[in-house]
Amino acid sequence: MAGFDLHTHSTASDGTTSVEANVADALALGLEGIAITDHDTTAPFERARRAADGTGLEVVLGTEFSAEQDGWSVHVLGYWIDPGYAPLSDELERLVDERADRARRIVGRFHELGVEVSYERIAELAGDAPIGRPHIAAAVVETGAARDVPEVFDRYLADGGPAYVEKHAVDPVRAVELLVAACGVAVLAHPGLYGAQDQGLDAEVIERMRHAGLAGIEADHPDHDEATRARYRDIARGLGLEVTAGSDYHGEAKTNRLGSATTSREVVERLRHWRRA
Ligand code: AMP
Ligand code: ZN
Ligand code: FE
Ligand code: FE
């Protein structure tokens, strides 16, 4: 299996496997590289790089940056960013605090719905990671209110669900500006999974992101159907953007398997050239 999996999570956010395990699995699968794209952090990159040292596997520094548009979440993947660029690192830090506040608000919603989940247990499950909905869902399963994590999302936590609370975040155009200003490369993650009934992100917003320096669109995401892939490949072609693929691996927190969607080395090399010096 060749190519790069450009979208992976670990225990540094809401995945269930360590970055070391992800690196070992990527090597076993014969991947050429993986990007470490935990939500709103670049913290695990150094550990991943050390784990891959001397193996030939390329580890790409990344993050999946939270933005919002009209109250819906939008995710922007940032690669090769300078983690020390303060305007971006300040916003990432703020998002981690915002995630903790939002988790408390979501716990309040669950209590109103008669589900006695505790914030302390959620924080314990998250450990050092920014708190994400999968941590909350896992704690809800422990209360017996649902059988498994997908059921918690279906009944309560999916975007727009009865326990859903948005996080306050920058808009997607600002997200691209910050990633580009941090000398990174910005790629719109899974554009088909946003808004009510996953209607997808409007081409008009993507065009404005393009003007801010967006380099690519993750049209090939495991949760996109064929029509959605075709729609966003067309938009990418029309705007002169790269098309990328990544598995959005979350370990046991999602069914997506590591390496199940890959980007060719050729596209990765083109992406690298979008970096501004
Ligand atoms: P958050 O960043 O806290 O808003 O949580 C986003 C994460 O929740 C995503 O990266 C997915 O891992 C997970 N997620 C979002 N929607 C669903 C869903 N409908 N079913 C299962 N997992 C989901
Ligand atoms: Zn996630
Ligand atoms: Fe995402
Ligand atoms: Fe993701």
Residue 73 alpha carbon to ligand 3 centre in Å: 9
pLDDT in tens, 68-100: 999 899 999 999 999 999 999 999 999 999 999
**Surrounding residues of ion ligand 2, Cβ less than 5 A:** 14
Residue 36 burial (CB count, 10 A)? 29
Q: What is the DSSP letter of 61?
A: E
The closest residue, in CA terms, to atom 13 on ligand 1 is 134
Pocket test residue of 98, 104, 109, 133 for ligand 1, highest count of atoms within 8 A of CB:
133
pTM (two decimals): 0.96
Angstrom distances, CA of residue 141 to CA of 41, 144, 146, 209, 256: 26, 5, 5, 38, 20
Per-residue pLDDT band at 277 (split at 50, 70, 90): low
Parse the chain into domains and list their residue ranges.
Answer: 4-92+168-272, 100-157
Per-residue pLDDT band at 28 (split at 50, 70, 90): very high
CATH number attached to the domain at 100-157: 1.10.150
Strand order in the sheet with 185-188: 4-5, 33-36, 58-69, 72-79, 185-188, 216-220, 242-245
CATH number attached to the domain at 4-92+168-272: 3.20.20.140
Residue 54 alpha carbon to ligand 3 centre in Å: 30
Distance between CA 212 and CA 174 in Å, rounded? 8
* Closest C-alpha among 188, 186, 183 to residue 235: 188
Question: What pLDDT, on a 0 to 100 scale, did the predictor assign at position 92?
Answer: 97
